[in-house]
Every structure is written in C-alpha cells, then in structure tokens.
Structure 1
C-alpha cells in the first residue's frame, strides 16, 4: 500500500487510537508496523482473530494480561547468560504466567463455539509452571528474596536474627555502663557494625575501635571491644547471606537461560495476543463489526461511520459499488460531506485490510484491493513551484500509471483549480480511461458535465450529498442514483432575494437545463425508495441465511449433547443400581450376623422375604433401564404425516413431518425444534399410559453480559463488601469465569478477614489465596470458581 494514501486517509491516527488499549510497549511496536496485508487470506484470518477476541471479551471478560511487562530487553540479557536481578526475574515470570493462563482462558466445552484462529496461536505456548513457581516462591519483590528460596538462606537469616538480638542486648548493656561518656544513651550503626556515640573528650574511657566521627568532631562512634567478635559474626553471616542470594539468582537465571527459546516464544505469543485483544477492545469501543470480504471489487457499506469523528455526531453513510457500476460520481454543495464520504470509504477499507473491524452495521461488505490511491486535499508546494492544480495533476499522473483492476481510486474535486471547461473535459477523460481499465472509482466534483457523463455512461453512477432547503443546512446523507441539484434559486429565495431577479435568472437558463433539474427532483424520491427497498431485501436475505446456518449448527451440537447425556445418564443409573444392590446385600449380611447373636428363625424368614422383594425390585428397575426404548409405548407400525407420537429419548410427544428416507429416518417437530430420528424409535401415544406428559422445558441460557475479572471493595464496610462480593461471585459464575480477583486493600486486615470468612463456605468458590507479586499481594484475594 502506497504511503501517500495511508497518510492522506489518516491511518496513523487510527493506530494512535489503538495504542490506548495496549498493555505493553511490545504491542505498541507491532501497531507501529501495522499495514494493510498483501493478500485476501491474511486479511480474512486477521479479521477473524479480531472477531474471536471480541467474542471472548463478551463471554469471558478481560483476558489475563494483569501484571505483564515488556521484557524483551531482559530476555535478550538472559539469552547472553547475564545474571538477572529479582525485579527482572519477576517480570519474566509474570509473562510466563500470562501465557499459561491464556491456554486456560480460551478453553471451552466441546459443544460450545470454538475460537480456531486464537486457539492455533495459543497452540505454540509451552507452559513453564516449574520456572514460574520457582521464581514466585524465591522472590518477594524487586528488592527482596524470600526466606523460602532455599534451606541454607532460611538457616542463615534465622542465625542472623539471633545474633542481632544478642548484639542488641550486649550493646544495650554497654550503653548503661558507659552512659556518662555518651552524647546520648542510644546505640547506632556505622558500616553495618553496632557502635556507641562517645563524647570526644572521653574517648579513652570507652576501649574499642573508632569507626566514624560527627561533622562537628564532638562525637566519636566507637565499637566497644566486647562487641567486636559479635559484629564480626554478624558480618560473616551477612556475607554468607549475600553469597546465597547470589547463588539463588544465578540458579534462577540459568533456568531462564536453559529454556530461553521457550521463554522468548511464549513472550512473543503474549505480545501478539495483546495486539489482537487491543483490536478487539477498539472494536468494542466503536461498536465495530466484522465485514464480509471479497476480491471482486464489490463494496457495500451499511451505515458506515468515519472512526475519527465523534460517534454521536457522525451521520451513518450507505455506499455501494462494484456490482451494477464501478464508478461513483458524487456532487453537492461545499461542506456537505463529499470529502468525508471519500475518506470514510478509503479508511474503512484500509482498516479492514489491516485486520481491524469497521464501524458499520452487520452485512457490510468490503473488497480486498492491492492498492488504494487517494487524491484528496491541497498539496501545493512553494519550494517545488507547484500550484494546487499542478500538485493534483502530479499525483493523478502517478495514479494513471499504476492503477489497475484491483485498485480503488479516490478523487476529490477532480479537475478543479483550472479553467472549468478544460477541467471538466480533462476529468471526464481521466474517469473514462480508468473505467475502461475496470478500476473502482469514487470521485467528487462540482462540474455539471460529470453529472451528464455519469447519466450516459454504462458502469458509472451519480450520487449526491443531500441538502435541506428548509434549514439551509446539509444533512450529510449520501443519495446514490441522484446527481446533486444546485438548489441555488430556492436558497436565494429563502435568503430574501427578490422574486423578479430569480425569474430573470431562470429565463436566462435554457429550458433543457430547467427540465433536467426538474427531472432530478422527480427521480430523487423514487430512486431513493427503490434503492433502500432493494438493499433492505438483500440484507434480510443475508440475515435469514445466517440465522438458518446458526440454528443448523446449534441443532447439531444439541443432538450431540443429547446423545452424550443419555449415555451418561444410563451409566449413572447402572452405577446407582449396582451400589444400591451392594448396600442392600451388606445390610442383610449385617442383619444375619445379628440374627446369629439372638434373632429367631421367624425373624430370619421375614428378613429373607424382604431381601427377595428388594432384589426383585432392583432387578426390575435394571430391566426397565435396559429396555426403556422398547417398553415406552407400543411400537409404531405405520408412519402417518402429521400424526402425534411419543419419542422415548426426549420423553415427550412429537409430530411426524416426513416419511422415512433411505436411512430409515423421519423428521419430527419437537416443540420449536425439527430433528431427524430413527422411525423404529417412535412409539404410539397411549392416553392411559403413565408417560410423563409434562413438557420438558429446555432453555439455553446465553450470558453475553461482560463481567469484569475483578471487584474493588476498598472504602466499603464489612457488611457492604460481603454483600457486594456475594453478588459479584454469582455474576462471575453465570458468566463462566474460572478465576476472579477480589480487591480489598491491605489496611488493618478487617475487610480481608471478613471476605475470606465468607469465601470459606461460598457455593461457587473452589479455592482462594492471597495475590502474588504483580497481582496485588496481600491487598487482593484470587478466587478460583467451581
């Protein structure tokens, strides 16, 4: 794609808007490199990934990008074998965790809709939970290594704690002993050694080593001789601690180095996923849709809006070409929206060709163009001595050289800036040449000659931007099939120009021109209505086709789920019956044991009789289970259309809609569903039978409400926070979230305790724990939902 079109159509502003939704600088760099793709297959795949990401946002809430960082520089250091600092290791672990959680995020049930493109991307993720756990267990924060990092470190720090306690006791004793020689009755630390602040005149009274002196020279910081050995031991332990921390960091850095290819691959996938979900968030914010795509030059944008105009102010635009005509000539008054129409068509195509969804209505269609050329705006150059006309012609010459059948060309005020007669003739010649090459063209003009050219040329269509004569303001609506009417006489009359002047002006215009203007006015309403009706019909046809396809897919999934549920139900029934028999035998065995201890033979006879009854009843149940399909009603010997019969597998009555086919299957109506079943499964309806006539209500609850992956309770009291968390967990459970974050803050810990007490017995909670590094620490609780 040529850079001029991208600049003129302001694609760079769209990329800046995209960057607001990213989580890392790495995805911003991907956006900087974003350009329209070179073939329709890439275009369709990247549009599909954006659509799937939008569906995931709607169904599962925010993706697990919490706490991730741009660690490209750190990974590069690790790949060269450098020692990584605690903060760097934590950031790498956060990215590894994000990659692993994403595989869980995209999981779905077999009968649910899949996310093929994103699943293929995530297929390359290799979970590195061992490394992830090692880092999070060993490192507490950017500056602190956990005591649990190793047994040696734990022992060193415990010994250090004990030594510090001993030296504090000892130094306090020295403070009391030498209090009369001290500036203050306290001890301090210099060079990581405990010292006393001794007055300089009494330095001989406190035997020890001088470590420092105050700026005034009045105080000497002396380490008493009795502390030297203890301080030496503490210093030795501190050196051991430092060495052990160094060893732990080296070990963790080596783990990253040994798996550097996997770490780098996982991180690249995370950046790509961040970019994909950035596109989805952008689409959600602007109410975008995924358009249909073709490479035949067919464009049909329904209620499209320019993405850089305030959605509340932008007027939806319908524009189409490529089927009945390949060139569209737009006329109308200045500030009427002609240039915005050109830019909207061009920018929406560049967005779609870059994998971005577009702000339009469903059933919109865009085409894949190898090139989009735009001659829009005034680019006169003082340095190059180019006038407005010259600068336009320089660009048009380049377009004429390069445009072909797979190009879209946008001309704004073609032929303007020179003599109107010559400019109009030149514009017609340019348009005709490109039309013969089958180039797709949208052009704006003020020349009446171009209106006439569009009327008499095949494959060229007039269009205009509507102007409201009553309010003397443009409506910004695009009317295809109607050339723009000047409305000069009506506007002048409303502005107060005398009638006799307007009449004189009309008399000076030929009758042919006046009839032409009247013809435009008469055709306008009819053409608009016919065009809208045809487009609505086409849209409805597409919607019906899509709905039909969706319901066929749902029916297939329903049939699959039904069979699976029936098989599982039968297995469960067998298991229950088996357990009941075993339990009954165990009870009777225990009773016989009791009988040996004193029951009479009469009691034994009665027990055996009850056992026999129980056994017969269980066997009868098992037999019914095995023959449920055969025993539920009489076999149907004749298939009659419209007859009401019973279908045991659904436990309800159905109506026969067709005769058996070559597979022995018939189509039946079950409630609102039409399904195919084997004819041998159908049974006669018996009014005296004990068939459960109560209809089985089947509901498919689809929760499209977007539920956040976290709830913020800070500032609430315990009662309010508990109520809010309970309500939020219900919503998260219904939305199908597997993991959520409850933000309660650190504070005094009262709110955290109240929330944790409630979570212990909550029916939706599988487990919970305090957040780790990068998740909020003790200020949040991570909840795993059943």
Structure 2
C-alpha cells in the first residue's frame, strides 16, 4: 500500500482533501472526500481518469447536480443490527431514504435515458450494475408526501379512518357553533372558534365563566385568563375521535412496518444507491476542484517518466484564487498568480538535486512533486500541463527538515537517521523519496558525505527521489553523477529576490546574506559576514551568480518562445482553415458554373463547341484564382514535382492548388498537360502542380492497443471502384454528442463527394472519445471497416474508416 499517514500529512494531502470536501453538496459526500485514498492499481487510476472526462461532459449536458441529502449510515446500521420485527423505521428515516433514492433516480435517468444511446459508457456501466431498489422507491414515493408524512392513500385502512376523522371534526365544529349561538356564549369566549387541548376538541372560555356551564376543564392558558373547556355535548364525540386516532396510529404503524420490510428486503440495493449518490457528489466536487486548479488527470504507470510540466502546488493555487477574489472585491488589482515549475527527469535519471537560496522555493518544489504523485494515485486531477506523467509509486517517503506549517516536527539529525533506518528495506524501484536538507543537523562535511551516499544508493536501487540541499559537495555530485539531475531555484539578478522558478541542469548559491538582510538582520553583522566570505574567496559565488543570471534569462526566453509558438500555431491554424474554405468555395463555384453550362448545352441554348470553350475558360479562371505558387510549397514537395511522362491513366495524384486527390484521365505528352477527374469535375492541369497521392492505408494495418481492442466486427468489404481520396475530420476537444454529430455529417459529405476513406482525428486523451467514435462507426451502414492509424499517421489518436 502506498501512502503512509506521515507522508500524507507532511505533503498536506489531508488539507487538500479538506478543501475538496467544501465543494461537496452533502455531509456524506464531504466525509467521502476526506476519506479518499490511493487507488490500488494502474487500471483503477486510468478508469478514474476516464470517468472524470465523462463526468465533465455529463455535468455540462445532463443538467443534474447533487443537492444536500441526509446521511443514511445510521439507518443502515440500525437495520443491520438484528432488530426484531416489532421495530419499524420512523417517518424521518423513511423520508430521508425516499429523498436519497429520488435524487439517485434523477442521476440514473440522466446517465442512461430510456430509448437513447448513452453518451457516457463508463457511467452507464456503473448505473447498469446498480441493484436498484425499485419496490422500495415506488412504495416510498406512493406513501409519503413532500413533507415526509404518510398520505391518506398509503393504505385502505388509513384512508378510511382519516375520512371518519374529518367527518367528526366537521360535526364537532358545527355542534360547537350551534351551541355558542343558542346559548349566546360569544361574550364568554376569548376567541370565537373551537380548538384542541389534550388531544380533545374544547372551547377557549374566559376563566370567570368556567362555572356557568357543565363540562370538563382540561387546561389553562399561561396568563390564566383562559381555560380550555370541554362541554358535555362534546365528550362523546371526543371519545369517538380518540378511538379513531388510535386506529389511525395503528394504520400508520402498519404502513411503516410494511415500508420497513421492503427496505430490509432491498437493503443491499438501498445501500448501493446511497453509495452511488455519494460517489456522484464526490465526483462533482472533484470537477469543481479541477476547475479551480485548471487541473487534469495525470497519466501514471510503471515505466513512465517523471515529467511534471508547469506544475503548480494546488494549495497555493487555491489560496491565490481566494486572495484574488478578495482583492477584486476591494477594488484592487490582483497580484500575479502561482509560478509554475518544470520538474522533469530525463531518461535514465532518477534523482533531482535542488539547490539555491533560502526562501527560494526548494521545499515547495519537493512538496509539489510529492503531492502531485499522491494526487495522481488517488485519481485526482493535478494542476500541470497536458502530457505530464509520473511513474508508479508504491511508497512515498518524506524527510522535511523544517516541516514548515506541518505537524510531527522532526528536524534533528538523529531523528532523520532513525526514520531512514526504519524505511530503508522498503525502498525499491517503485519508491519516491523526498529529502529536505538531509544531513544538515551535524558536521557539514560528514553530513554532506552521508547525504551523497544515500543518493548514490537510491540511484543504485533505481528508486526515485528529490533532495533540497545547501551542501557544495552535493551540488557538484548532481552535476557529475549518472542518473542525477541538478536544478536550482532562481533569484532576480538585480534585486536578489526569489523568482520561485526552477532552473534545470544548474546549481545555485545559498544567498544567505541577502536573505538575512531582507529579514532585517543588523548591518554590522552582515558586513562582518561579508568580510569573512571575502577571506574564503568569492570566485565560486560570482560564478554561481552568473549561472543564475543566465538561467533567469533562459527561463524568460522560454516563456516568450512558448507564447510566440502558441500565437504562430493559432495563426497557422487560422490560415489553413481560411485556405480550406477558399478552396472549397472555388471548387463549388467551378462545379456550379460547369453544371450551368452543361444544362445550357443540353437544352440547346449553346452549341457544343461553345459549351466546351466556356467550360475551359471557367476552369482556367478558377484554377488561376485558387493556385498556390510553387515557390510557396515546401522544399520537399517541390523536389517531388512530376512531368507528364511520369504519369499514366488511372493513377491517383494530388492537385496542389486545391489540395484534392483525383484520377488521371488522360496525358498529353505534346502539350505537357494532364487531364484530371476531381470528384466528377474534369480539367487539364500542368504536371508540376501534381504530386503522387499516398496509397490509402488499410485500416487493418493499424497498430497499438486500440487496434487490438477495436477489431473490425465484419470481414473487410471492397470499397467502391470509382471512389477516390480521403476526407479528414478533426473532432478533438468536442463533447461526445457534438463529435458524433460532426462525424455523421462528415460521412455524408464523404459519400456525396465520392471519397473512399474518412480520416477521423479524435486525439488520444483518455480514450473516451475514441471509444464513442468506434461505437458509432461499428453501427453505421456506410462504413465497411475501420481501425486506428499507424504511428506515422497519428497512432491511436486517429481512426481510419473505409466507406462502402
């Protein structure tokens, strides 16, 4: 089992789970959030990531969210306690169970609507496996009203006795009014109405008149001015009411006994429904946490690298968000947010040694790495860039020297050694060890040697680790040793203040004097310290300062490059989309004009030769408008330019100006021209504007796990002999319903344009969208076969479908 309680506490996972619990709607959901623990295996983590993606889609489309619902643990415990048959659940318990089942039913109906294809297969699988207590839910819904009381229709006996009670009430009220009018008793009454005292109908009589009438006094008001008087004519009717109320209580108890029996009979289903609802509450809380953190599930598993790109400490992100909201409400401009870190080990590297100044963020870096590993094992999304990965850790051990803001303070050298001795035999290739200033509590030379020996042994065991240190020997070790990577927290070269950035492949100075000056240490002490430092020589310090300055400049340049690359990619995508739209518009215009000329010729409005001339002129005009200069083509494409002699009839080629694949109909060697058929449009073009079209890959040749998991369900069918080309459809980032709608339209367009193949780009991600696409293709009558593409064409992020 991975997580020991001490590591979780030091890395502040309980504090994060507490923040997560604030997003749950119910008490049971909050308790479940606090009890989250690492998942047992890679498959469970992958499934949690896939369900998280489905939940994000479900929450945006279904319109059902958890509401406050009562906890049922006490109810279930009472039922499982072996109570006798005379014991029944009270109305509060039955009403609470009804409310939970009602909300659970809303979720189940939203996940798998009757008669509709499910968009969330994993959620639907859980819903289908649920042993739903249908009899209990139906009975509770029929017998209880919105206030949690029994309806009259709960049983025939209850209905009958309540009808009689209403009749008696009307009789008592009518008789009392007649009695008051006949005897002119209005001046004797405090209020002109009949009321109930001691569960009997009485008159509120003024105390001074209590001896004027025969009857029974049941009680007095608090002031003593009113007595509740039962006249003799009401005694018989009140007795009848009491008898009916006894019958009503018995009828109600019979209904509650019946309902309790149903609950007992379907207790496993009731518990499963309640657990399902709690789970949905937790998942919605995780969605909210992911939204606040801008986080996604990390891929984790044996053999994966440690590559946390632009990772942020989740608690710092949450605190920063809360502070920004407070400053915005106060009319202030929010300060900059949490600085992301790149915690990356290259192939064959296992240990990261972090150096640099005090208060620069070394401990935060260690905590961020450890907490990200624990969150990944718990199936929680991590605030890091997409594509980040962490290895599979069975154990995480933490040595925090100062344990900032943490309990169980252990900072002495002896305590460190004792703890290391206790866990040493459990360290292996699936272990993460975090060391903060290990060996600092003793002689620096001996502590440094001991720390280096520990790191060397961790490398030998292929264990993973990260260490924060000020020891110069460990800095040199990190730069020179195999399997170890050096890193340094960065400081602003001008102000000497921390930037909270991590520079890889370099070491950093401690900046002790600058930090001491920043925190107000007397200048006389600092000057003496500087003199001692000069006596020891400051060449190494100057060199490290220069390295820090270069690292800061490099980090800023990388930020600029990232922004520029994103802008260029966005511009390139926009230009490609614009070019594709223009080409489609030109192609449509050519077909429209060509069809109009052919209609005129068929109707006899123009001669055959004139029609041919107009067709040629139209094609020439459109080609000139849509042509891309060859100089603008990539060098690789220009080097593949064709001549007329290279081509023959029936050959498939790509026409560059339109970026469309066609078939060679004729070759005129004398003119050096080629006649193409582009989806039913014929035109003469120059061979230099053509490239050989790639042969459509057979979907059966697709490689990877997805190809093995999604084999074609029927033998391959021969595609249409006259079909050409491949249509590309990109549905990445779409929700399942939207993607399938675009896929259906794409298949229709491909069939209309006579394409033989559809290339669907759905991305890798968690595989949820790929499964949806494959499920739709499997049942489509227009698809002959499909499989994922080979790695050169996108691997399991792309599916190739052959059309019938």
Is this a same-fold pair by TM over 0.5? yes
Give the SS at the match of 2:397: strand
2:52 alignment partner in structure 1: 50
2:141 aligned with 1:139: no
1:31 alignment partner in structure 2: 33
| Deviation for aligned residue 1:20 | 1.0
| 8 Å contact kept, 2:351–2:464 | yes
Measured in 2, the distance between the counterparts of 1:205 and 1:514 equals 109
Measured in 2, the distance between the counterparts of 1:490 and 1:172 equals 94
Measured in 2, the distance between the counterparts of 1:156 and 1:457 equals 89
Equivalent of 1:172 in 177, 189, 202: 177
| 1:364-386, Cα deviation, whole Å (9 max, x unpaired) | 11121111111103379xxx999
Decide whether aligned partners of structure 1 residues 60 and 510 sit closer, same or farther in structure 2, where only a CA change above 3 A counts.
Answer: same
Measured in 2, the distance between the counterparts of 1:539 and 1:458 equals 35
Matched residues, number:
581
Decide whether aligned partners of structure 1 residues 529 and 67 sit closer, same or farther in structure 2, where only a CA change above 3 A counts.
Answer: closer
1:325 alignment partner in structure 2: 349
1:620 alignment partner in structure 2: none
Measured in 1, the distance between the counterparts of 2:229 and 2:528 equals 110
| Deviation for aligned residue 1:217 | 8.9
| 1:219-253, Cα deviation, whole Å (9 max, x unpaired) | 87553333333333333333333332222222222
Q: Which has the higher contact order (CA 8 A, sep 6+)?
A: 1
Equivalent of 2:9 in 7, 10, 13: 7
Measured in 2, the distance between the counterparts of 1:660 and 1:355 equals 40
Equivalent of 1:342 in 335, 349, 366: 366
Measured in 2, the distance between the counterparts of 1:235 and 1:25 equals 41
| Deviation for aligned residue 1:263 | 1.6
TM-score by length of 1: 0.64
| Deviation for aligned residue 1:507 | 7.3
1:102 alignment partner in structure 2: 107
| Deviation for aligned residue 1:321 | 1.6
Measured in 1, the distance between the counterparts of 2:89 and 2:270 equals 14
| Deviation for aligned residue 1:352 | 0.9
Decide whether aligned partners of structure 1 residues 298 and 207 sit closer, same or farther in structure 2, where only a CA change above 3 A counts.
Answer: same
Give the SS at the match of 2:438: coil
| Deviation for aligned residue 1:128 | 4.1
Give the SS at the match of 1:426: helix
Give the SS at the match of 2:488: strand
2:13 aligned with 1:22: no
| 8 Å contact kept, 1:339–1:444 | yes
2:74 alignment partner in structure 1: 73
Measured in 2, the distance between the counterparts of 1:200 and 1:680 equals 95
2:161 aligned with 1:156: yes
Measured in 2, the distance between the counterparts of 1:419 and 1:446 equals 13
Decide whether aligned partners of structure 1 residues 243 and 333 sit closer, same or farther in structure 2, where only a CA change above 3 A counts.
Answer: same
| 1:409-431, Cα deviation, whole Å (9 max, x unpaired) | 11111221222222222222222
Decide whether aligned partners of structure 1 residues 449 and 297 sit closer, same or farther in structure 2, where only a CA change above 3 A counts.
Answer: farther
Decide whether aligned partners of structure 1 residues 224 and 417 sit closer, same or farther in structure 2, where only a CA change above 3 A counts.
Answer: closer
Structure 2 gaps, min length 5: 322-336, 574-648, 654-660, 663-676, 682-690, 699-717, 731-742, 756-761, 763-804
Moved more, 46-55 or 175-184: 175-184
2:127 alignment partner in structure 1: 122
| Deviation for aligned residue 1:62 | 4.3
Decide whether aligned partners of structure 1 residues 253 and 369 sit closer, same or farther in structure 2, where only a CA change above 3 A counts.
Answer: same
TM-score by length of 2: 0.62
Structure 1 gaps, min length 5: 548-636, 649-654, 685-699, 701-786
| Deviation for aligned residue 1:322 | 5.3
| 1:241-271, Cα deviation, whole Å (9 max, x unpaired) | 3332222222222222232222222222222
Equivalent of 2:486 in 447, 462, 472: 462
Decide whether aligned partners of structure 1 residues 8 and 213 sit closer, same or farther in structure 2, where only a CA change above 3 A counts.
Answer: closer
| Deviation for aligned residue 1:486 | 5.3
| 1:624-667, Cα deviation, whole Å (9 max, x unpaired) | xxxxxxxxxxxxx956433354489xxxxxx9956688944655
Equivalent of 2:417 in 361, 380, 393: 393
Measured in 2, the distance between the counterparts of 1:242 and 1:418 equals 78
| Deviation for aligned residue 1:155 | 4.0
Equivalent of 1:668 in 697, 718, 725: 725
| Deviation for aligned residue 1:445 | 1.0
Measured in 1, the distance between the counterparts of 2:749 and 2:231 equals 99
1:445 alignment partner in structure 2: 469
Please provide the CA RMSD for this pair.
4.7
2:286 alignment partner in structure 1: 279
Give the SS at the match of 1:123: helix
